[in-house]
Amino acid sequence: MEALQEFVENFTYLGIFAVLLLGSLGVPIPEEMPIIAAAVLSHEGVVRWWLALPICVLGVLSGDMVLYWVGRHCGEQVLNWRLVRLVLSPAREQWLKAAYRKHALKTVVTARHVMGLRAAAFLTAGSAGVPFWKFVVADAGAALLGVPLAFGLAYFFTDQIKAIMADVHRAERWLGLAGVLALAAMLAVWVWRWNRRVDKERLDREPAEGRSPFYAAVRVIARFWIWFFFERVEIRHPERVPRMGPVLLCINHPNNLIDSLLVGSVLSRKVHYLATAALFRNRLLARFLVAVGAIPVYRRADDPDRVDRNIEMFAACDEAFDIGRLIAIYPEGATRAEANVQRIKTGAARIALGYEAHARGRLTVVPVGLSFEARKKFRGRVLVSFGAPVALSSYLAV
């Protein structure tokens, strides 16, 4: 509204006429807005009302007449334009032509007050052969009533209009935020539907693994953030991870939480991560980690006095393997910024060999490599590569 008022103020009467003419010809400018702008400027003394009002009427009628004659002489060609068909479908065109044949005057008056349909309706009036005098009488009569009414209301209530516009500006910020949230919600729904479709296709080929709705929701969110943060995620040899049975993933750890999001989002199976017991000290975070299937690991660096509780961790891993679960561990023990794999701890070997000792040949150990183009780069690229399974039987005697 302010931009329109500034334009009219700079070009005064010519600006009023030009904006109304363009609006009448179908440019998406509400007809009432330039009329209100002209009335406000008249109230403020920028233009004279007794000149601005006739120019408003003239601008409105000029565009209408142009549309009528265009429709009269080349209506069929113009009505078949794709842009026109977006507003005036063939069915609506036939309905308008039938209305013009029965009630030409009433149809023109009605179309004059229907924003968005006005231009297409007046084109159709010309192509339908409505007599010019009928069109002029109906259109001019409606304009001579509607334009002065809108102009007069805006002229006498200028102060209220300014207050309303101030409220509108305050509301625009909240509307903008609401729009962003709505777009985010739409995107989340789309990602959720896409996730369901992918999971359904995979479930047709593989057995269910006890995945909870909560874990499914977390994975939808993880996939969204991976899609948002990375331009491309390349996945190599995911088929090396068995679709069923006990599996231990041994993953390098270059990028904190992103690593877990990546692996969990690219695999269809539920991933039970081994996580430092320090994370379980927060009650709320502990409930979340338990809900997604994480298993606490008691590291000497966190609390030397609780290392003996790792017996519980080994027992939890064996129990998970017994029912065919997939566990992921970061053998380096902590996040490492270096590109090369650093010195690994003994935990992964102890878990794998300990289970292999009493369940020979059941467990599959798969190394996983994560390689980032740049660890902190937004919209970067990342490679997730699944290595060939490691044969454990040859290491039992070592």
Q: Is residue 55 part of a domain?
A: yes
3-state helix, strand, coil in the chain (%, to 5): 65, 10, 25
Which pLDDT does position 116 carry in this prediction?
66
Model pLDDT, residue 271: 94
Quick one: tokens of 317?
Answer: 């891993």
Task: Indicate whether 92 and 214 sit together in one domain.
Answer: no
Total domains in the chain come to 2
Residue 195 lies in a domain: no
pLDDT per residue over 147-156, tens digit each? Answer: 998 888 888 8
Instruction: Determine, yes or no, domain membership for 330.
Output: yes
The verdict on 299 and 362 lying in the same domain is: yes
pLDDT of residue 319: 93
CA distance 93 to 121: 8
Best CA proximity match to 35, nearest among 155, 166, 116, 136: 155
DSSP 3-state of 201: helix
**236 shares its domain with 146:** no
Q: Is 328 a member of any domain?
A: yes
- Write the pLDDT tens digit of every residue in 155-206: 887 766 556 555 554 554 555 556 656 766 776 666 566 656 655 555 454 4
Residue 166 forms part of a structural domain: no
Cβ atoms of 374 and 381 within 8 Å: the answer is no
Same domain, 140 and 217: no
Structural domain ending residue among the three candidates 122, 156, 190: 156
- Are residues 152 and 225 both part of a single domain? no
One domain for residues 145 and 227: no
Residues 376 and 228 in one domain: yes
Final residue of a structural domain among 95, 127, 156: 156
106 and 244 housed in the same domain: no
Whether residue 254 sits in one domain with residue 140: no
- For residue 201, tell me if it sits in a domain: no
Q: What pLDDT shows up at residue 161?
A: 59
178: in domain: no
CATH of the domain at 210: 3.40.1130.10
Whether the CB-CB separation of 382 and 234 falls below 8 Å is answered with yes
Enter the pTM of the model: 0.49
Q: What is the pLDDT of residue 263?
A: 93
Do 152 and 216 fall into the same domain? no
Domain boundary among 116, 138, 156: 156
**Spans of the chain below 50 pLDDT:** 1, 169, 172, 203, 205-208
Could you tell me if 101 and 11 lie in one domain? Answer: yes
Q: Which domain holds residue 391?
A: 206-395
Same-domain pairing of 291 and 386: yes
Check: CB of residue 329 under 8 Å from CB of residue 351. yes
Please tell me the distance from the alpha carbon of residue 21 to that of residue 148, in angstroms, as a whole number: 17
Q: Decide if 215 is inside a domain.
A: yes
pLDDT at 315: 93
